Amino acid sequence: MNYKLFKSVNLKELGQLRRYISIIYNSADFYDKHFVNKTIIYTTKNNKIELTARRDNFMHLCGISYIEGPRKFFNDALDRKVQLKKFLLKKMALLFRNYKF
């Protein structure tokens, strides 16, 4: 991972994450129930793409990085034990604009 693309969470972002952590927890539950180890097939007129959702993909879909890695992040989200200070945010991402609150 290129850590130059990420930054530590500041106090304002930490407050925002605290308010919205339940969305991450609920999303992890939904992703686990409906997508993990399932194949999603996208079909167009000329192509067919098959994607298999993995536990390791969830962190990327959230647009964040967790110091302890994607598998630990997903497991912590399922266990409702995410440590917010271990988040790294993409510098260019508009994390909170990506979610519909």
Tens-level pLDDT at each residue, the chain (101 residues): 666 677 888 888 889 888 889 999 999 999 999 999 999 999 999 999 999 999 999 998 987 889 999 999 999 999 999 999 898 877 755 455 555 54
The reported pTM is: 0.77
Look up residue 10 and give its two tokens: 């500041």
Look up residue 75 and give its two tokens: 């497991």
Residue 8 domain-assigned?
Answer: yes
For 77, the domain range is 3-95
**β-sheet bridge partners, residue 87:** 66
Total structural domains within the chain: 1
Residue 101 domain-assigned?
Answer: no
